[in-house]
């Protein structure tokens, strides 16, 4: 059984998008800075290329996953990836209410967190699940469903915007650093989520 791995690119002050993010401006004001290192063709995530070897290795890992688990906001802001994130793997979209129209391509809507996690794990088979998006990350963290977090810390302060870690319960979650890589563009930190600690 594969792991659910959160992949996010964040500023040092913890923002994954600048202020006023929305459709057509998924990264908010100045948030594009977080993806400066990336070249993406026509918004197709499978075409994402990092400009340096370390970034490229991490991106390649993300693209070897066997399923994508994301939140509705990220899905919509990304133009629903035209139904295909990479290699036609299943895309599980966590949403409060499923839209009336059928999901595009390989996407499916799921309205409960545990169900979304279970479906994504099952769909990925032996491979890992790529978890992406702040809201989905928070929901999965609260449910204790994240196994690892691969955080790319971009050397910038955005000051304001959408935080990766927000609205979490006041509970201590212990982590274990599995890997740290220094790339020219950012530091890559991969943690295992160990769960609640003593308070």
How far apart are the C-alpha atoms of 69 and 50, rounded to whole Å? Answer: 22
Q: Give me the 153-182 binding string for another protein, x by CB under 8 A, dash otherwise.
A: x-xxxxxxx-xxx--xxxxxxxxxx--x-x
CB of 58 or CB of 151, closer to another protein: 151
**Nearest-approach distance from CB 113 to another protein, in angstroms:** 17
How far apart are the C-alpha atoms of 185 and 172, rounded to whole Å? Answer: 30
Q: Is residue 21 within the footprint of another protein (CB under 8 A)?
A: no
- CB contact at 8 A, 91 and 115: no
How far apart are the C-alpha atoms of 183 and 114, rounded to whole Å? Answer: 35
Q: Give me the 29-48 binding string for another protein, x by CB under 8 A, dash otherwise.
A: xx--x---------------
Facing residues of 180 across strands?
189
**Nearest-approach distance from CB 132 to another protein, in angstroms:** 18
Which residues within the stretch 57-76 sit at the binding site for another protein (CB under 8 A)?
none
69: helix, coil or strand?
strand
CB of 24 or CB of 169, closer to another protein: 169
How far apart are the C-alpha atoms of 81 and 79, rounded to whole Å? Answer: 5
- CB contact at 8 A, 134 and 164: yes
**Nearest-approach distance from CB 169 to another protein, in angstroms:** 5
Q: Determine phi and psi for 85, rounding to 5 degrees.
A: -80, -55
Site of interaction with another protein (CB under 8 A): 11-14, 18-19, 29-30, 33, 141, 151, 153, 155-161, 163-165, 168-177, 180, 182, 187, 189, 191, 194, 197, 199
């Amino acid at each position: 059984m594969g792991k659910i791995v959160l992949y996010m690119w964040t500023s040092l002050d913890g923002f994954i998008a600048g202020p006023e993010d929305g459709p057509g401006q998924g990264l908010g004001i100045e948030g594009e800075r977080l993806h400066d290192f990336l070249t993406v063709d026509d918004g197709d995530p499978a075409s994402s290329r990092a400009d340096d070897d370390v970034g490229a290795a991490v991106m390649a890992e993300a693209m070897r996953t066997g399923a994508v688990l994301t939140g509705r906001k990220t899905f919509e802001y990304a133009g629903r990836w035209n139904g295909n994130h990479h290699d036609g793997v299943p895309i599980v979209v966590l949403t409060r209410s499923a839209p009336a129209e059928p999901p595009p391509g390989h996407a499916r809507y799921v309205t409960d967190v545990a169900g979304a996690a279970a479906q994504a794990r099952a769909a990925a088979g032996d491979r890992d699940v790529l978890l992406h998006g702040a809201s989905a990350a928070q929901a999965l963290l609260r449910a204790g469903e994240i196994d690892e977090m691969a955080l790319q810390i971009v050397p910038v302060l955005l000051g304001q915007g959408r935080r990766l870690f927000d609205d979490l319960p006041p509970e201590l979650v212990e982590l274990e650093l599995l890997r740290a890589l220094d790339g020219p563009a950012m530091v890559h930190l991969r943690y295992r989520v160990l769960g609640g600690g003593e308070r």
